[in-house]
């Protein structure tokens, strides 16, 4: 299940005046596109495109700052509907998930196809959002099927028809086949999956090792990777590119605070916590600086992320001007209960306060509970 242009769809639902307009969700003029609606895509706008290129392609687009609280809230609602169908739900991003529906037919008295059709209709009716569904015997085929008829797509693909269906597609649709491997395969005469199908597994493994075995399996539509509840995310992160290079400590700290809130919200949405906190900076000369700190115990709390990143930021030279700042959380594990920090006796109370604020924002909106620094950050954004 893959939501259709999720961030932009939430914005259009919440503001009907945007319904017929091209919408881009992302940073300022020097940032990148987080996502865009299908109208904007018709102009050539794509996710991860630099914002100046997106606006050149579609100058009439409405550009909106991401509202992570709203997106996380809707993602949680969708995930709760998924878990009504099966406990085997693997979330791979805030708006995409795999479901293993094996054995659910007797429980729900309906086929997997019927269950997913009803789910798709329910999400649209109750939430005003559309999703695309791909049904297949394994996750590789299900992923491709979900992309076959977007938006509001519904595509079922059998393992028997998969080899012929795959044959004309580029080798890059196979996970792990990036630009470098695509170029290398092209040199070997493999441009389409049909070219891989014409080669033996032994030949592919001799040329590409273990990846060769994967190429052979995927070319014939086979994938034994199980659905793992909780997923296998390696990290969660957020970053922003400033409208102007800056060395202002107050501005940098406020931006850092907002990114820690976003990263925390993403970790909470995915039900994970992490032990390694990363601060990323890019200077005005495009030099990337990365600083990491390993915590005594994993966390998903924005307060701890901010405290940790603030120490890392304050250790950097004050005169340097930066164009980008980012926050990452890695070495992830399933989230557990908040832990008492012996060096901070009030840590559990502060964690409870953050959880309470999360609950208020989830119910009443992102601006319903914030701190003084959060208010200042929103004030900065409203004037830029």
Domains and their CATH numbers in the chain: 2-66 (3.40.1170.60), 69-156 (3.30.70.270), 162-219 (1.10.150.20), 235-382 (3.30.1490.100)
CA gap 373, 378 in Å, rounded: 9
Edge-to-edge strand order for the sheet containing 235-246? Answer: 235-246, 322-334, 272-283, 288-299
Q: What is the pLDDT along the chain (384 residues), one digit of tens a residue?
A: 999 999 999 999 999 999 999 999 987 666 788 899 999 999 999 988 888 899 999 999 999 988 888 898 899 899 999 999 999 998 888 899 999 999 888 889 999 999 999 999 999 999 999 999 999 999 999 999 999 999 999 999 998 999 999 999 999 999 888 888 999 999 999 999 999 999 999 999 999 888 899 999 999 999 988 888 865 567 888 988 888 899 999 999 999 999 999 899 888 877 788 999 999 999 998 899 999 999 888 899 899 999 999 999 999 998 899 999 999 999 888 777 666 565 566 677 777 877 777 776 656 655 555 555 555 555 555 444
Among 82, 22, 26, 74, smallest CA distance to 50 is for: 26
Among 160, 175, 178, 177, smallest CA distance to 221 is for: 160
CA gap 212, 203 in Å, rounded: 8
Active site residue: 11, 74, 90, 96, which one?
96
Residue with tokens 């900076």: 281
User: Is position 96 annotated as part of the catalytic site?
Assistant: yes
């Amino acid at each position: 299940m893959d939501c259709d242009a999720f961030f932009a769809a939430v914005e259009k639902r919440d503001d009907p005046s945007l319904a017929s307009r091209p919408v881009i969700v992302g940073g300022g003029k020097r940032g990148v596109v987080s996502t865009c609606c299908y109208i904007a895509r018709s102009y050539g706008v794509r996710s991860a495109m630099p914002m100046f290129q997106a606006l050149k392609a579609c100058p009439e687009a409405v550009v909106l700052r991401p509202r992570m609280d709203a997106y996380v809230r809707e993602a949680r609602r969708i995930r709760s509907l998924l878990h009504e169908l099966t406990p085997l739900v693997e979330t791979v991003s805030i708006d995409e998930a795999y479901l293993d529906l094996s054995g659910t037919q007797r429980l729900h008295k309906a086929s997997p196809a019927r269950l997913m059709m009803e789910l798709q209709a329910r999400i649209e009716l109750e939430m005003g959002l559309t999703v695309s569904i791909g049904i297949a015997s394994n996750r590789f085929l299900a992923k491709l099927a979900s992309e076959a008829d977007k938006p509001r797509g519904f595509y079922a693909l059998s393992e028997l028809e998969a080899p012929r269906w795959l044959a004309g597609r580029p080798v890059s649709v196979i996970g792990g086949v990036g630009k470098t491997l695509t170029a290398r395969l092209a040199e070997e005469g493999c441009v389409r999956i049909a070219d891989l199908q014409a080669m033996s597994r032994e030949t592919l493994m001799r040329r590409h090792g273990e990846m060769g075995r994967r190429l052979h399996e995927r070319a014939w539509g086979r994938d034994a990777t199980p659905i793992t509840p909780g997923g296998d995310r390696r990290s969660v992160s957020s970053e922003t590119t400033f409208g102007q290079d800056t060395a202002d400590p107050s501005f940098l700290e406020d931006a850092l605070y907002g990114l820690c809130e976003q990263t925390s919200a993403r970790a909470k949405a995915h039900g994970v916590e992490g032990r390694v906190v990363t601060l990323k900076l890019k200077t005005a000369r495009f030099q990337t600086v990365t600083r990491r700190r390993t915590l005594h115990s994993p966390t998903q709390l924005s307060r701890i992320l901010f405290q940790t990143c603030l120490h890392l930021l304050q250790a950097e030279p004050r005169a340097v001007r930066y164009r980008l700042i980012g926050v990452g959380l890695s070495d992830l594990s399933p989230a557990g209960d908040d832990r008492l920090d012996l060096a901070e006796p009030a840590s559990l109370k502060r964690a409870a306060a953050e959880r309470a604020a999360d609950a208020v924002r989830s119910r009443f909106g992102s601006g319903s509970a914030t701190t003084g620094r959060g208010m200042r950050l929103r004030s900065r954004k409203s004037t830029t």
